[in-house]
Structure 1
Amino acid sequence: MAGPLSGVRVVDLTSVVSGPFATMFLADQGADVIKVEPPVGDMTRRTRPPIDDDGQFSPMFISTNRGKRSISLDLKRPEGVEALRKLIARSDVLVQNFRPQVMERLGLGEAAVRALNPRLIYVSISGVGDSGPYAGKRVYDPIIQGLSGFADVQAQAGTRRPQMIRAIVADKTTSVMTAQAITAALYARERTGVGQHVKVAMLDAMIAFLWPEAMTNYVVVGREAPAGDHNARPDLVFATIDGYITAGTISDSEWAGFCKATDRPDLLDDERFNSQGKRAANATERITLMGEILATRTTENWLKRLDDCDVPCAPVLRRAEVLTNEQVVARELIAEYVHSGVGRVRQARPAAQFSATPGRAPSAAPWIGQHSREILAELGYGAEEIDGLANTTVIREVKG
């Protein structure tokens, strides 16, 4: 059994990142994920500079679509929609992130598909949900960072100018929540025998993601307080003589360890820092002072001193340094394999490891329509029928 989701078939109608990344997690865990692409392919094949001669693969596409099979269908043609209907009828999960009403126009809205396959888990990913004044908006990650308050969390100290984080955090957070929701729905179906409609909006996901610590000032109704002071404090990146480190001093024992490691026992009795509450209230002064102290020695020296005193700490790595970091290497967190269209590629190892049902080894992201013929044959199409669909460009075939 290759992975805990072995035997589960997923129809992946998604594009960009929020959907493909979610279904890739399912593929890592053994599901047969069939990526349904238009003849031109998923747009992320082209949104970054391609790294193959045919222009089919970008690093982002490879890193959000590994382990899937691809069928290329022209859904503007009735024959293409009919092939998709047959595929859906034999699947466990359908995931789509089209704008509202697109699936209905294809005749594949939730009610229509439910009649076709009552056990199906029908998953709709959207930007801001299917109701409310923003429901029809075209949405990408920065829009959600702005709407959810995430950009405010990253605001510049002093000016309070909101800032975007330089990663598509809203897309990827939504992916993780979607993958978890799909497995929960599959579990519920095992108990009830009934499928259901799962809806995940990026805005919903990010507000839920931010709530535990970023919205603490708004948890108690009637006791709201501006969050500016908390967010204006410096971050925990400290310059050393030759690099950068981070260190945490939340508990009393960690603060005591920091004072010992830095030869500053006087700070234990400092009225500004001698309790956890005071250290939080005077965070700007505390973090600024820590930065001044840590600037006096090398990264290696400080990390040893802090580790010896049981203070949470780590080097702040540049992205290239992550590849060779001793912990990353020891845990084999980055795998390499050969992709027929690109050459040797790296991928992060799936984070969840299963003792009884280990996932399969990483496999390449597919070419556009690489498995069209194979999948249609599984649906009962004969060779002549498949040839006819290929000749009339209802399907696209590309051999990897």
Structure 2
Amino acid sequence: MPGPLNGVRVLDLTGVVSGPFATMFLADQGADVLKIEPISGDITRRSRATIDKKGEFSALFISSNRGKRSLSIDVKSSAGREVLAKLVAKADVLVQNFRPGTMERLGLGVDDLRQRHPRLIYVSISGVGETGPYVKKRVYDPIIQGLSGFADIQSQPVTNRPQMIRTIVCDKTTAVMTAQAVAAALYAREKTGQGDHIQVAMLDTMISYLWPEGMMQYTVVGAEAKAGDPNDRPDLVFKTSDGYITCGTISDSEWQGFCRASGDPELASDPRFATPTGRSVNATARINKMQEYIGQHTTAEWLERLDAADVPCAPILRRSEIIANEQVVARGIITEFDQPSVGKVRQPKPAARFTLNEAKIAGPAPRIGEHSREILLELGYDEQAIQSMVEESAVRLAG
């Protein structure tokens, strides 16, 4: 059966990662996503080095835009604006992540479009929101990591120097939040017949994401000064004699299981670690003590001991080891397909698996303007009109 969003048309006016990654999830779930690109193409086509001879694809672009159709137009031209107006009239969802004010200058402001198309779901993704003193800031992922507390929570234990997470966690988390919000709005529209305006700010998303355990000491108003920082402790990376593992000992049974696995009966009788409260208060001492034991044996030996004692544990895999990991292979998480002009590429399958309405990778990432002619013909333009737009540099066709 087709994906759960089969029949939904999404107009993707986004660039970089937060928007394209969100709309890619919708494409995986069956939506027809039309990627509207400038004549030069999305900036991420050339980000972090291209991987094809024509300079149209980067690995980052493929992993954020697979399964979409590309229409390359100059949205500032009169012809481009006309095309966009026709596309909006047929769209269920419009997603944009321009800086505030840009869509209004293009004649695509939210109030005007929602008045003319009340069923349209209009999505605005931004860095810090559409109000406040930072509203005009140019924003990328590290800016939000700095503002949201993510750099602080990664601080080095000894120097307390903040550190960035080495992946664009803010962009990608915002994408997941956006895709979920679109699904909710589509459901609401089925009941009310009305679209909605969804605003998703990266800053809002990441503070919300961090809060449950990362901001525990700030949850109770007035008790901030008394609350300890739950993150002021070593991380759960343990060096074995030949590699690294991680393991968790939250419950009494898990701690007792670790004690049995250590082979030292004295560890189980240490009063500092006998209760959940004690293990939390003395977390640094506990984790350092665990390291003393873990460093004495190999990764394989520790995993065997901990699994036998029913203690949560896993090897810490290098990225080069993930693809061949036995659990990843058993789940079939990674798939391969042909990407034109690049060759065979790997991608993870959609993480949400549907029993009836299968989500799947809809196809490779498109070339710049690969579907321009196809989409314009669907809108009623004839070949002569399309050729005129190409000659005016209002539209780009692939090749």
Pairwise same-fold verdict (TM > 0.5)? yes
- Return the alpha-carbon distance in structure 1 between the equivalents of residues 286 and 21 of structure 2: 40
Matched residue, 2:98? 98
* Alpha-carbon offset, residue 233 of structure 1: 1.0
* Alpha-carbon offset, residue 360 of structure 1: 3.3
- Return the alpha-carbon distance in structure 2 between the equivalents of residues 279 and 148 of structure 1: 29
* Alpha-carbon offset, residue 264 of structure 1: 2.1
- Return the alpha-carbon distance in structure 1 between the equivalents of residues 183 and 378 of structure 2: 25
Corresponding residue SS for 2:230: helix
Matched residue, 2:284? 284
Matched, 1:10 2:18: no
Contact 2:51–2:59 (8 Å) recurs in 1: yes
- Return the alpha-carbon distance in structure 1 between the equivalents of residues 227 and 66 of structure 2: 41
- Return the alpha-carbon distance in structure 2 between the equivalents of residues 98 and 396 of structure 1: 21
Corresponding residue SS for 2:65: coil
Matched residue, 1:363? 363
Matched residue, 2:67? 67
* Alpha-carbon offset, residue 362 of structure 1: 4.5
Q: Cα deviations across residues 137-196 of structure 1 (Å, max 9, x unaligned)?
A: 100000000001111100000211111010000111100000000000000000000011
Corresponding residue SS for 1:360: coil
Matched residue, 1:115? 115
Contact 2:155–2:161 (8 Å) recurs in 1: yes
Corresponding residue SS for 2:39: coil
Please list, as runs of the form range in 1=range in 2, the aligned pairs for 1:1-400 lying within 5 A after superposition: 1-225=1-225, 229-399=229-399
Contact 2:24–2:68 (8 Å) recurs in 1: yes
Deviates further, 117-126 or 352-361 = 352-361
- Return the alpha-carbon distance in structure 2 between the equivalents of residues 246 and 314 of structure 1: 6
- Return the alpha-carbon distance in structure 2 between the equivalents of residues 56 and 116 of structure 1: 36
Please list every run of 5 or more consecutive structure 1 residues that lacks an aligned counterpart in the other structure: none
Identity within the alignment, %:
63
Corresponding residue SS for 1:63: helix
* Alpha-carbon offset, residue 76 of structure 1: 1.7
* Alpha-carbon offset, residue 271 of structure 1: 1.1
* Alpha-carbon offset, residue 363 of structure 1: 1.3
TM-score (norm 2): 0.98
Q: Cα deviations across residues 21-50 of structure 1 (Å, max 9, x unaligned)?
A: 000000000000000000000000112100
- Return the alpha-carbon distance in structure 2 between the equivalents of residues 50 and 181 of structure 1: 32
- Return the alpha-carbon distance in structure 2 between the equivalents of residues 361 and 60 of structure 1: 16
Amino acid at match of 1:223: A
- Return the alpha-carbon distance in structure 2 between the equivalents of residues 237 and 361 of structure 1: 34
Corresponding residue SS for 2:324: coil
- Return the alpha-carbon distance in structure 1 between the equivalents of residues 97 and 255 of structure 2: 47
* Alpha-carbon offset, residue 267 of structure 1: 1.8
- Return the alpha-carbon distance in structure 2 between the equivalents of residues 374 and 135 of structure 1: 38
Amino acid at match of 1:280: S
Contact 2:352–2:359 (8 Å) recurs in 1: no
How many residues are aligned here? 399
- Return the alpha-carbon distance in structure 2 between the equivalents of residues 174 and 236 of structure 1: 27
Corresponding residue SS for 1:297: coil
Q: Cα deviations across residues 344-390 of structure 1 (Å, max 9, x unaligned)?
A: 00001110000010023451000000000000111111121111111
Contact 1:44–1:58 (8 Å) recurs in 2: yes
Q: Cα deviations across residues 89-120 of structure 1 (Å, max 9, x unaligned)?
A: 10100000000000000010001211332100
- Return the alpha-carbon distance in structure 2 between the equivalents of residues 226 and 334 of structure 1: 46
Contact 1:2–1:360 (8 Å) recurs in 2: no
Distance 1:227 1:144, change over 3 A: farther
- Return the alpha-carbon distance in structure 2 between the equivalents of residues 225 and 306 of structure 1: 37
Amino acid at match of 2:286: R
Q: Cα deviations across residues 108-139 of structure 1 (Å, max 9, x unaligned)?
A: 00012113321000000000000000011100
- Return the alpha-carbon distance in structure 1 between the equivalents of residues 226 and 241 of structure 2: 37
Distance 1:226 1:137, change over 3 A: farther
- Return the alpha-carbon distance in structure 1 between the equivalents of residues 191 and 81 of structure 2: 31
- Return the alpha-carbon distance in structure 2 between the equivalents of residues 254 and 65 of structure 1: 43
The alignment's C-alpha RMSD in Å is: 1.1
TM-score (norm 1): 0.98
- Return the alpha-carbon distance in structure 2 between the equivalents of residues 382 and 111 of structure 1: 32
Contact 2:151–2:165 (8 Å) recurs in 1: yes
Amino acid at match of 1:375: I
Contact 1:337–1:362 (8 Å) recurs in 2: no
Corresponding residue SS for 1:225: helix
Amino acid at match of 2:16: V
Runs of 4 or more, structure 1, over 6 Å off, are none
Contact 1:254–1:310 (8 Å) recurs in 2: yes
Distance 1:276 1:228, change over 3 A: closer
Distance 1:148 1:290, change over 3 A: same
Q: Cα deviations across residues 322-356 of structure 1 (Å, max 9, x unaligned)?
A: 01000000101000011111000000111000001
- Return the alpha-carbon distance in structure 2 between the equivalents of residues 225 and 179 of structure 1: 38
